A and B are shown apart, each in its own frame.
Chain A
Amino acid sequence: MDLRATPAEEAFRADLRAWLATTLPTLPEKPAHTDWQARRAYDTHWQELLFAAGYAGIDWPLEAGGRGASPVEQLIFKEECERAGAPYVGLGFVGLLHAGPTINAEGNEAQRTTYLPKILSGEHVWCQGFSEPGAGSDLASLRTRAVRDGDHYVVTGSKIWTSHAEVADYCELLVRTGTEESRHKGITWLIMDMKSPGIEVRPLKTISGSTEFAELFLDDVRIPVENRVGDENDGWRVTMVTLSFERGTGFVGELLESMRLLRSLTALAKDTGAFGDPGIRRRIGQLSASFDSLWALTKRTVSEAQVTGIPGIGGTVFKLAYSEAGQRLADLSMELLGEAGLAMSPLATSGVDLNNDEWVEAWIKSFNLTIAAGTSQIQRNIVSERILGLPKEPQVTGGSK
């Protein structure tokens, strides 16, 4: 084990730190949470700046417009961005963290050169069309149907939990190309242009009041066969690659954000006097230890990925543990805020912003941590079956309602 930085990594960190120090002050003010067009503009502007400076797709290949550097430098990038308070990946997350890495690993040459550079430059925003009203945890039961018609697939069905569909250019779409009973053997991974005729987007309001998710209704949407990633009916394997990125390294930004939030929460606890309570201190210590170990686990996952190219099963352990630690952090923040945690609008005392609105929103969103990207119950099934080697539950066939 060797965690020492190479001279190249040290130089990368120093250059990045200097670039962030000069660039961040030039950013416009953050847009309102609910203004999706403005948020898209803000996030893609940040992505353009990163791309122009050579900081987009740090571990993506040069041909794809990336930097061709190591995943370690990608981690340093995230660490320094969080430290400097740089914007998070935002609306770009599906393209940058799911679809992009999947196309990079499983797409053909034409797909890589067509889609990857525009994801990196911020020109294209992607959304995810995996889950369906009847196919959540049991994703392999999905029913959105794709029928071959010459050099097109004609797609009909509906999708749900499609993040940022309102402002997306492309969708990573899972469709049923096999028989209804084919389950994971009859799924295909397609790239869908969101401007295609036959797509209806209906925003879905979540418990935080946000419309970050939408439902998609697809009615005879024509998708060129050349937009297929991997073989027909081999989409489940491709999906597992997508999910391994999501679970393996897709939450690194969130983890670093949680670590920053814990630091500000500690400062708040000192300010209010709550830090004098040993119970509060111990909860802070417990969370700090958990987050630090998850950061170390990330480094280990990245070390493994440097050998294999795809994050290993350890990502599932990360997802399971991070989701629950994130919820404990959110719970602690609400207790420390007291009554101020009951207001969703920003409050200030003596002219100082409390940032209660951010904490409250984070608390509501924390309920999603153990649901999105595979519920914690599904993660536990994966851990116990694929790592511990415990037997599967007997299959209940035919039921997918």
Chain B
Amino acid sequence: MNFQLSDDQVALRDGLLSLLDGRYDLDAVRSVEGQASVVERSRWAELADAGVFAILASEADGGLGLGRVEAAVALEALGAHLVPGPLVGSIIAGQRMASAASGEVLVGLHSRSAGGSLPRLLELPNDCDGYLVLPGTGEGAAPVTYVERSTLATTQVPTSLDPLTPLAQLAAPIADGEEFSSAADPVRRDALLLTAAYEVGLASFSLWRAVAYAKDRHQFNRPIGSFQAIKHLLADELARLEQARVAVAYAATITDQPEVAVIDGEVNGLSATECTWRAVASAKLLADTAALSAAKTAVQVHGGMGYTWEVPIHLAMKRARVLATTLGTSDHMAEIVAALTR
């Protein structure tokens, strides 16, 4: 057992972070705020050149042939830079669609959950070329299908909560398209897991910004970070972040190493699949919490400045709100985990 990143995984992370520092600095990310389209294709192509969207594709298909651990490492780095766009959908699609792996085609995710009378929205409607449509929770063993964006009737939502996640309202629920995967469960798990990894990156963005501000900002002739009232808030966020990060690492590892899920499942009276589901739902639950809570604390630590548009914490807060909503809420995740606690 070795629960540390391998040298290759560290190199992958550091390489990507260095690319992101250069090409996705905060000014670049913020330059598209509030626009109908937030993905600059040339920058997307650079991510593709770095292998981001081919990370899970097999080497036989021209991909990197890596696992969820590496994909999670990449998504945490992307989240820590607030990189916008359909990252998770394109990585999952990249396993089977060469055009997604190469970055030519941008693939979003859409979960057809029952919303009752509430309107259904489509994320990134002017950036995505197509969507992987996950069946709703009540639909049983329905497949995941791929639907071209051009076939969907939508109305643009003029202003979205997250200025980096534009939205359109769907005229009708999305019907099935061409089959992408006959089994929805593994796709849904990957989507939740990779989204959780991105949220860990968001939490880290908020926390370290708040820490830097607390060291720098002086009141009462002292850095505010020397006050326990501030320090303790931040220590709690680190604890949440580390729990989420290790939960994501664990869920990613047992998804890639099913023999571990067999043994860990046995200890908990679960099948390997149930054990993996519990790990993924736990990771998503903890990552939702970490990302939302770190953003809230970071706003608080920034005081009045945290309430301004200029300070970028609200971007992490709003993205976390998006990601904690679209594939199932935290309550839904807690229900999944509870059902698998016996």
Contacts and interface: CB of A to CB of B under 8 A. Distances in A.
Interface string B240-255: 1011101101101110
A64 to B, nearest CB: 23
A286 interface: yes
A55 B14 CA distance: 42
Nearest to B279: A292
Interface in A6-52: 6, 9, 13
A390 B231 contact: yes
A294 B267 CA distance: 16
A130 B176 CA distance: 67
B239 A317 contact: yes
Interface residues of A, number: 57
B231 A385 contact: yes
Interface in B215-248: 215, 222-223, 225-228, 230-232, 234-236, 238-240, 242-244, 246-247
B285 A285 contact: yes
Interface stretch (A177-185, A243-251, A299-307, A361-369): A299-307
Interface residues of B, number: 61
A389 B250 contact: no
Given A299-B3, A380-B236, A384-B235, A1 B247 contact: no
A359 B238 CA distance: 31
Given A1-B9, A303-B2, A282 B334 contact: yes
Contact of B225 (A282, A300, A387, A390): A390
Interface stretch (A115-123, A155-163, A343-351, A391-399): A391-399
Contacts of B337: 284-286, 288-289
B242 A285 contact: no
Contact of B336 (A285, A294, A307, A314): A285
A299 B251 CA distance: 13
Nearest to B72: A1
A83 to B, nearest CB: 6
B281 A289 contact: yes
B246 A297 contact: yes
A320 interface: yes
B15 to A, nearest CB: 18
Contacts of B246: 293, 296-297, 300
Contacts of A307: 4
B9 A293 contact: no
Given A4-B257, A380-B235, A297 B242 contact: yes
Interface hub of A293, A307, A314, A394 (most chain B Cβ within 10 A): A293
B6 interface: yes
B239 A293 contact: no
Interface hub of B242, B281, B286 (most chain A Cβ within 10 A): B242
Contacts of A390: 211, 214-215, 223, 225-226, 230-231, 234
Contacts of B286: 289-290, 293
A205 interface: no
B247 A292 contact: yes
B341 interface: yes
Given A262-B341, A390-B214, A3 B260 contact: yes
A317 to B, nearest CB: 5
Interface string B109-124: 0000000000000000
Interface in B144-201: none
B259 interface: yes
B231 A380 contact: yes
A260 to B, nearest CB: 10
A284 to B, nearest CB: 4
A377 B235 CA distance: 10
A235 to B, nearest CB: 27
A281 B4 contact: no
B338 interface: yes
Contacts of B3: 1, 3, 296, 299-300, 302-303
Given A1-B2, A282-B338, A392-B226, A289 B231 contact: no
Nearest to B333: A285
B305 interface: no
A381 B230 CA distance: 10
A233 interface: no
B26 interface: no
11 contacts: A3-B254, A288-B341, A289-B282, A300-B4, A302-B3, A317-B239, A320-B235, A380-B235, A381-B232, A383-B239, A390-B223
Interface of A: 1-6, 9, 13, 72, 79, 83, 262-263, 266-267, 275, 278, 281-286, 288-290, 292-294, 296-297, 299-300, 302-304, 306-307, 314, 317, 320-321, 377, 379-381, 383-385, 387-394
Given A321-B240, A377-B232, 6 more contacts: A1-B6, A281-B335, A283-B334, A296-B250, A300-B249, A303-B3
